[in-house]
Amino acid sequence: MTINRRKFLQGVGAGVAALHAPWVRAQAEPIRIGLLTVKSGPLASGGLDMERALVMYLRERNYTLAGRKCTLSVGDSAGVPAQARTKLQELVERDRIQILIGPLATAEALASDDYIRQEKVLTLSVAAADDMTQRKPNPWFTRGTSTASQCAHPMADYCYKQLKYRRMVVIADDIAYGHEMVAGFQRVFEEEGGKIVQKTFPPLTVPDYGTYLAQLSTKADAIYLGFAGSNGFRYLRQFNEYGLRGKIAAVGGMTALDEAVLRNMGDEALGILTACWYSAELDNPQNKKFAPAFRAEAKYDPGFYAAATYTEAAVLEATLNAIGGKIEDKEAFMKAVRSIKVDTVRGPVQFDQYGNIVGNVYIRKVERKEGRLVNTVIYTYPNVSQFWTYKPDEYLKAPPYTRDYPPAKNLES
């Protein structure tokens, strides 16, 4: 049979047209992932970890998720909320990202809130910013780490029930993250019968904690540290210098003794308990591959920030698999995210109807292993949601956590 020229051209034309059909073109186009992180300024070390872990995840899969190639664009917000918004605009308008991982800081997420709504940016957030999945839920926003208070609630329970503390002091950075974390801790601790006898909020960038340590009430069983970044480590050093170690026990929130900070610390950190949704020592199949690989590349253990983006990437991949890789269908993506169950480096996770993650929270103890300090897991609270044991509608009816809510009725000056 002869193939005449016209038929040949028609065939080629049809083939070319078919290639341009939307679904075929979509499959050929890469998925454009955006990462909004902090690479300069005080939050930089966490931000750099975020990038490293995400790149690791994508590289391990040859930059292919659900059968489609991916590209990654990274924006640096320097931790300034207005700049975060501008960088996000750049990622969306210039790089045309289809899904955003990040941002890092609470204020950055809040600054980007309305833009995310307006442009319907699919967001897998690292930042806490409780209300974005509570009273003012953003339909395009999901969070794979935890709210500020999500890990504080179980810690309070552990302090009261297992450690038998009855009187505690709390101290945290004077930022929304610190306020929300401490508020969550205080609520559960006092509802179970404990008393918070002192509440202090040093400014975020105070160089010296001497004056706060002098005010510390030692007539308590323990102190809860709600610090972010490296402040926990600086506080503890000075805590020991003032001879307070042994006088009053110390427990911490999810970022106080993060692996990133722990590597610079010494014996002063031994034995301190913290609550977090991750530890580099976790014994699950995903983490057994991830932690050593990260350590080999970065020369230190992965912590909060590295695990955050690695988990978000796993969530992204699972959701893409659930919807056949069609990230263009934003509604389907958001629906799928709320229905998947994934096994990640932090254990099994799923999402509640508000877009916040439900997963395990681990109580960890600092120990020395192979010559370095690690967060050994000593207890697990399974399936902890942002509402702890409260019913969502009751939780949401109460005012949001702030510096002054819940009111501290047991303070002793």
- Chain contacts with other proteins (rule: CB under 8 A): 39-42, 44-45, 48, 75-76, 78, 80-83, 85-87, 89-90, 93-94, 106-107, 110-111, 113-114, 118, 129, 136, 174-177, 200-203, 205-208, 210-215, 230, 233-234, 237-238, 241-244, 260-261, 264-265, 402-404
Taking each helix axis from N to C end, the angle separating 81-93 and 106-119, rounded to the nearest 10 degrees, works out to 30
For residue 349, the minimal CB distance to other proteins (Å) is 26
Which residue, 177 or 189, has its beta carbon nearer to other proteins? 177
| Pairing verdict, β 222-226 and 195-200 | unpaired
Which residue, 48 or 337, has its beta carbon nearer to other proteins? 48
In 2-129, at which residue ranges do the beta strands (DSSP E only) sit?
31-37, 64-65, 68-76, 99-101, 122-125
Which residue, 47 or 144, has its beta carbon nearer to other proteins? 47
Q: What single DSSP character describes residue 69?
A: E
Residue 364's beta-bridge partner residues?
Answer: 274, 377
Which residue, 144 or 178, has its beta carbon nearer to other proteins? 178
For residue 242, the minimal CB distance to other proteins (Å) is 6
Q: Omega of the bond prior to 154 within 30 degrees of 0, cis? A: no
For residue 128, the minimal CB distance to other proteins (Å) is 11
Which residue, 166 or 234, has its beta carbon nearer to other proteins? 234
For residue 297, the minimal CB distance to other proteins (Å) is 16
Phi-psi region of 171 (alpha: psi -120 to 50; beta: other; left: phi over 0): beta
Separation of alpha carbons 144 and 20, rounded Å: 36
Asked if 163 contacts 155 with a C-beta cutoff of 8 angstroms, the reply is no
Separation of alpha carbons 271 and 162, rounded Å: 15
For residue 183, the minimal CB distance to other proteins (Å) is 12
Residue 343's beta-bridge partner residues?
Answer: 348
For residue 334, the minimal CB distance to other proteins (Å) is 21
Which residue, 203 or 285, has its beta carbon nearer to other proteins? 203
Q: Omega of the bond prior to 103 within 30 degrees of 0, cis? A: yes
For residue 99, the minimal CB distance to other proteins (Å) is 18
Separation of alpha carbons 218 and 277, rounded Å: 30
Residue whose C-alpha is closest to residue 179's, from 207, 155, 148, 210:
148
- Residue 159: count of CB within 10 angstroms of its CB: 26
- For residue 314, what are its two tokens? 């796993």
Which residue, 157 or 173, has its beta carbon nearer to other proteins? 173
Residue whose C-alpha is closest to residue 297's, from 56, 72, 74:
56
Which residue, 207 or 407, has its beta carbon nearer to other proteins? 207
DSSP structure string for 117-181: HHHT-EEEE----GGGGTTS--TTEEESS--TTTTHHHHHHHHHHTS---EEEEEE-SSHHHHHH
Which residue, 177 or 362, has its beta carbon nearer to other proteins? 177
For residue 379, the minimal CB distance to other proteins (Å) is 29
| Pairing verdict, β 347-351 and 341-344 | antiparallel
For residue 80, the minimal CB distance to other proteins (Å) is 6
Which residue, 60 or 241, has its beta carbon nearer to other proteins? 241
For residue 198, the minimal CB distance to other proteins (Å) is 12
| Burial tier of 19 (Cβ tally within 10 Å: 0-12, 13-18, 19+) | exposed
